[in-house]
């Protein structure tokens, strides 16, 4: 694989690129703020220049946190910040990449959404941003299907990742092990997923095995969305 690793934190982008290179892949790292149109355009341009074409885009950036909450507690600053990253940022990068994919006659776009897009009620900005991402996924899919471009989304459920567990543990003042036990009990399968579960779903959607799949919202949640209905 040839991958452009983009992060606002250059160190994290470089670490990911090194992991890919260690496995025999080609990778470069790039620092960018996807909420800025110029940065989104730069991501697309550098990707095209370095690897000649853009076959796959994974919009994997997402934030929540401080100031988010139910409607009567959500702050305007948090709403604007979360929507800018989770929805506007994904749109800007998609917009920048689409001309290249349309020119070359195909591509696959994968948006990392969330189970919170269809359930929750306590993090309004995050939930609305991810619900919007689901709708954007289908809009992109339908407007580009005739050009050979597929667009799908993945909705991870309760996940055991450093960002999720560390952030929630700190916010609630709950030990990480206790938090893992509590979250696992809420999953129908009895355990949380991890980053690899999401990655393998993205790998499928990016592959030729999914050549007839577009506009799909794929749950990776241990049955969480099935329980909700």
Q: What is the pLDDT of residues 16-34, one digit of tens each?
A: 999 999 999 999 999 999 9
Residue stretches of the chain with pLDDT short of 50: none
Spell out the alpha helix ranges (H) of the chain.
10-22, 37-51, 76-83, 90-104, 124-144, 162-172, 176-185, 195-206, 224-228
Region label for 65, one of left (φ > 0), alpha (ψ between -120 and 50) or beta (otherwise):
left
Answer whether residue 102 is part of any domain: yes
**Could you tell me if residue 2 is inside a domain?**
no
Domain residues for the domain of 83 are: 57-157+193-228
Catalytic residue among 43, 82, 89, 126: 126
The interaxial angle of helices 124-144 and 90-104, nearest 10 deg, is 10
Look up the CATH number of the domain holding residue 216.
3.40.50.720
Residue 126 annotated among the catalytic residues of the structure: yes
Do the domain assignments include residue 138? yes
> What is the model's pLDDT at position 225?
94
The span from the CA of 183 to the CA of 158, in Å, is: 7
How many domains is the chain built from?
1
The reported pTM is 0.95
Q: Look at residue 97 and tell me if it is in a domain.
A: yes
- The answer to whether residue 184 sits within a structural domain is no
Answer yes or no: is 10 within a domain: no
pLDDT score of 167: 83
Considering the domain boundaries, does residue 96 fall inside one? yes
**pLDDT score at 179:** 95
């Amino acid at each position: 694989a040839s991958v452009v690793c983009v992060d606002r934190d250059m160190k994290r982008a470089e670490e990911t690129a090194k992991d890919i290179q260690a496995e025999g892949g080609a990778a470069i790292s790039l620092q960018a703020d996807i909420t800025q149109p110029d940065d989104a355009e730069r991501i697309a341009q550098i990707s095209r220049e370095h690897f000649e074409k853009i076959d796959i885009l994974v919009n994997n950036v997402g934030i929540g946190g401080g100031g988010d909450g139910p409607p009567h507690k959500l702050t305007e600053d948090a709403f604007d910040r979360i929507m800018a990253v989770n929805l506007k940022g994904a749109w800007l990068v998609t917009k920048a990449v689409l001309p290249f994919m349309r020119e070359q006659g195909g591509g696959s776009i994968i948006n990392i959404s969330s189970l919170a897009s269809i359930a929750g009620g306590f993090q309004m900005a995050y939930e609305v941003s991810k619900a919007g991402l689901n709708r954007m996924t289908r809009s992109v899919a339908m407007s580009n299907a005739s050009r050979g471009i597929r667009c799908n989304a993945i909705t991870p459920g309760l996940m055991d990742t450093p960002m999720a567990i560390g952030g929630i543990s700190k916010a609630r003042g709950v030990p990480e092990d206790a938090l893992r036990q509590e979250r696992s009990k809420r999953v129908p399968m009895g355990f949380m997923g991890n980053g690899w579960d999401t990655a393998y779903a993205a790998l499928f959607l990016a592959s030729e095995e999914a050549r007839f799949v577009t506009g799909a919202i794929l749950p990776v949640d241990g049955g969480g969305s099935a329980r909700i209905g």
